[in-house]
Amino acid sequence: MANHSTDKLAVLIDADNAQASIIRELLKEVSRYGTANIKRAYGDWTTPNLKGWKEVLHEMAIQPIQQFSYTSGKNATDSSMIIDAMDLLHIGHLDGFCLVSSDSDFTRLATRIREAGLTVFGFGQRKTPQAFVAACDKFIYTEILEPQPEADTGVAQIDSEPIEAMIRTAITATAKDNGWAPLSAVGGMLVKNSPSFDSRNYGFSKLGELVRNQAYLEIKEVSIGDGASNTHIYVRLVAKAA
């Protein structure tokens, strides 16, 4: 999965299905994965329910794309966003897409973009259907972009998935013969197995902090050896008592 600041990304926002209040933090999150060369928000801007977007659009240089609702009960915004995404895909100058919506209608779009060899980052609320989450390379729940109360030990998690089972599976898949697995490989496997995995879902800002708080894991740090203070982190499962 691409993860370089030079990667060119298109950020396409379903404004009818996203919160204007988290867009500033969302774009900061996008910058972790690449550069947002294209930023567009789709919706019927003549309706009062999108009035709260005006300041954000100007401040964050997001291009509003007008889409009138021609038929009651039909989401014309989705169709407009999908058509634009396919046009951008065929132009061929992007490395990935950021699809901002909690709507399952974008599941096939995410799959199609990945079939073309590009990376897809999804952004949506926890109510987002699992099919759309699974169709993305990585899916970020927007709740973690909202201000969270301080958690001393990460106990106040917002993700209900069984983290121990997920970590055990990832370590087993990436461990060397001696049982130790590089933390970077473990993290990659966690996202591969569950695109919505993010240590912040469990109250920890970094994966290293999360694994240090798991009693069933051993941690070791190995100096890179270049005179710097940087280290590689390895983890392994604690042997169960006989």
Are 96 and 200 contained in the same domain? Answer: no
Burial of 53 (0-12, 13-18, 19+ CB in 10 A): buried
So what's the pLDDT on residue 226?
Answer: 60
Amino acid symbol at 204 = F
CATH number of the structural domain spanning residue 221 = 3.30.420.610
Positive or negative: CA dihedral 17, 193, 120, 143: positive
> Taking CA 228 as the corner, what is the angle to CA 222 and CA 233, rounded to the nearest 5 degrees?
25
State the pLDDT confidence band at 159, using cuts at 50, 70 and 90: low
In a domain, 100, yes or no: yes
pLDDT-derived band at 130, boundaries 50, 70, 90: very high
Reported as a pLDDT band with limits 50, 70 and 90, residue 151 is very low
Instruction: With respect to residue 29, please indicate whether it lies within any of the assigned structural domains.
Output: yes
Judgement on whether residues 131 and 181 belong to the same structural domain of the protein: no
* Whether the predicted pLDDT of 2 surpasses 60: no
Residue type, 178: N
219 inside domain: yes
Strand partners, 181: 235
- Same domain membership, residue 126 and residue 22: yes
Say if residue 187's pLDDT is above 70: yes
> Do 180 and 132 share a structural domain?
no
DSSP state of 202: G
pLDDT tens track for 15-43:
988 999 999 999 999 998 999 999 999 99
Q: Are 129 and 185 found together in one domain?
A: no
Same domain for 227 and 137: no
56 in any annotated domain: yes
Q: Is the same domain home to 167 and 81?
A: no
pTM score, whole prediction:
0.79
The owner of tokens 């005179």 is 227
Instruction: Calculate the alpha carbon distances from 67 to 70, 75, 108, 112, 128 in Å.
Output: 9, 10, 21, 23, 23
Domain count of the fold of the chain: 2
SS3 label, residue 45: coil
Are 66 and 167 within one domain? no
Interacting residues of 138 by C-beta distance below 8 A, sequence separation 6+ = 1, 33, 119, 120, 121, 122, 191, 195
**Co-location of 128 and 225 in the same domain:** no
Residues 134, 226 within the same domain: no
Domain range for 228: 163-237
* Residue 89 domain flag: yes
Q: Are residues 112 and 178 in the same domain?
A: no
50 lies in the same domain as 105:
yes
DSSP-H helix ranges across the chain = 23-30, 54-59, 76-91, 107-115, 130-135, 163-174, 183-193, 207-212
Cα–Cα distance measured from residue 221 to residue 224, given in angstroms and rounded to the nearest whole number: 9
Q: How confident is the model at residue 231 (pLDDT cuts 50, 70, 90)?
A: confident
The verdict on residue 156 lying in a domain is no
